[in-house]
């Protein structure tokens, strides 16, 4: 009887280990297949931030990115015409360098015009800088 219990415990332990390993692999696959993965930033993260939980760099549909970091949140209407993109409003642009290209939806853009800009927009919580009527062109 003792041998049968040990055999059962060994089989249960191995089965539990396999289930945990499969669950981990499924979670990893789901994370990798999320939309808007930034492959270059992910590779940089793998080689520079070993074993960090945020090694997989993803891009959200409503965010602007420079150097792999979010530098603005798009609010309102987005108008795209040929090689031109117009944002109704972008908030949280404190770190946005308007003289450098940025990534939006896996494309490079450069700001050509800003209608209005506020250094401290109090209508947003927490208060942050914002810009309205931002016109951009595709960057080479």
The string of pLDDT tens digits covering residues 39-49 is 777 777 777 76
Query: Among 132, 22, 20, 128, which Cα is nearest to 78's?
Result: 132
Q: What is the average per-residue pLDDT within 73-92?
A: 90
Using left for φ > 0, alpha for ψ between -120 and 50, and beta otherwise, residue 135 falls in beta
Give the pLDDT band of residue 53 (cuts 50, 70, 90): low
**CB-based contact 64:88 (threshold 8 Å):** no
Average pLDDT over the chain, rounded to whole? 81
If pLDDT is split at 50, 70 and 90, which confidence band does 109 have? very high
Please determine, for residue 9, whether its predicted confidence score (pLDDT) is greater than 80.
yes
pLDDT for residue 56: 59
∠ CA(27), CA(33), CA(38), 5° rounding? 115
């Amino acid at each position: 009887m003792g041998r049968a219990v040990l055999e059962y415990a060994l089989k249960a332990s191995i089965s539990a280990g396999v289930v945990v390993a499969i669950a981990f692999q499924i979670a990893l696959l789901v994370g990798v297949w999320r939309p808007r993965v930034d492959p270059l930033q992910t590779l940089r993260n793998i080689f520079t931030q070993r074993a960090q939980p945020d090694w997989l760099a993803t891009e959200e549909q409503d965010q602007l990115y420079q150097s792999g970091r979010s530098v603005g949140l798009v609010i309102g209407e987005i108008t795209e015409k040929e090689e031109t993109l117009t944002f109704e409003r972008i908030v949280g642009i404190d770190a946005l360098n308007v003289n450098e290209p940025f990534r939006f939806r896996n494309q490079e853009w450069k700001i050509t015009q800003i209608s209005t800009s506020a250094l401290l927009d109090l209508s947003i919580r927490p208060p942050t800088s914002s810009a309205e009527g931002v016109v951009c062109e595709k960057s080479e």
